[in-house]
Chain A
Amino acid sequence: MKHIWVKLAIVVVWSVGVRAQTCREITAAAELARAKSLAALRDASRDAGNDYRLHLIRAFRSFQLQPRSKEAAARLLSMVPGDDAQQKIVLTLGDSLCDSESAADMKALAQVNERFARELATAVLIVPSLLPRYLAYSTIAVQDPHSDYAVEMERVCRAFGPMFTRALGELPEDKIRVFTTQVMKADACQPIAIPESDQ
């Protein structure tokens, strides 16, 4: 039993050091998420930095502020996680990410995570050419038991009809298999991956 405590303590101490480096970026990310206008978003972007999290939140907020913009929609869809590291960033947006992060910053970033699937669904309806990319990410997104990606995808499936099925058919075979068994019954636009909820 004792070795488990020692291991746990080592892991926690190590992670404290790693997280301290990211605090400024987290504050900047929360400012982007809270921007009330495109001008405020531009201002907040000026000194924000250049990592994936910041680009993602900038694109997300920009689309929220101009939900009919094809350019903003395409930019958001271009930010869907491309690897495990990026997916982990999306997954943990609402976590306490650094020592001085305020509760308000945590909440602002949590809302990005909570609304990510909805905004992506809205975005792809505006930019159908990015449907394959949107579909491909679904197999990653639903690995989080809290993800409402498949539920939000239902309206995309119904809106696009045969085009949705055709785009699905363009995915690699293994992705199609995962999609049809773990994400959605595409012929009926019926989500398989339903998120956890309280009731």
Chain B
Amino acid sequence: MIPTSGGNNWGTSRLSPCFHNAVAHVFVWNGETGKLADKGSFLARTEPSDTDRFPTTAAGGYEATLTQHNGHAALRLQPTDRIPITNGANPAHPDRDYATGILVHIAGLDNATGMTRAGGGISEGCVLVCRSQYSGFLDAVGATANPPQRHFGVMLSANPNMQSGVEKEDDDLP
């Protein structure tokens, strides 16, 4: 069951299918009320571009900070130097059982999630947000505010109804 709390943005898209396997729930810390406010849920992909080469970020709750990725607003999962992964060892750095520098950021051009021509990945461990949902994601993180500082929480939920790599965003409209 896909969660429906907060500002969901399951909008239709003319983009290529978004290959997702998870939902990223975004929360913002409200300094006045002392509570976490639910800002929305976004279709996401936790599986990297090549699972044999890169780590997969574990589902769960994270603190997060606003950052940028290739000029786009993104969230950095914390603690950024020790992000838990589902792999026993990090495929990119086999001497480690965690990942570093993991962001929640927009998927590649036309929702691409695979390897790039340069030989890297669209995701080398980062969580990708489907392109059709990115404007909602921007609203959720308040990236256009100045100053933009927000204190975030991100809950990554792997969704049992999502078969990784086979569904379109439109198929998941509640």
Give A contacts to B, CB under 8 Å: 4-5, 7-9, 11-13, 15-16, 84, 87-88, 91-92, 94-103, 106-107, 110, 143-147, 178, 182, 193-199
Contacts and interface: CB of A to CB of B under 8 A. Distances in A.
Counting chain B CB atoms within 10 Å of each CB, the highest count among A4, A15, A178, A198 belongs to A198
Contacts of A9: 29, 35-36, 153
Contacts of B155: 4, 8
B36 A92 contact: no
A103 B117 contact: no
A199 B147 contact: no
Contacts, number: 135
Given A106-B148, A198-B108, A95 B65 contact: yes
Interface stretch (B4-12, B13-21, B123-131, B160-168): B123-131
A103 B31 contact: no
Contacts of B118: 194, 197
Given A194-B116, A195-B120, A5 B36 contact: yes
B36 A199 contact: no
B95 A103 contact: no
Contacts of A144: 100-101
Given A15-B151, A92-B67, A145 B54 contact: yes
27 contacts: A4-B155, A8-B36, A8-B153, A11-B78, A13-B34, A15-B151, A16-B29, A16-B31, A91-B81, A95-B67, A95-B76, A101-B147, A101-B148, A101-B149, A106-B66, A144-B100, A146-B103, A147-B101, A194-B118, A195-B120, A196-B116, A196-B120, A196-B123, A197-B70, A198-B112, A199-B116, A199-B117
Contacts of A196: 69, 116, 120-124, 126
A145 B126 contact: yes
Given A182-B93, A198-B122, A145 B108 contact: no
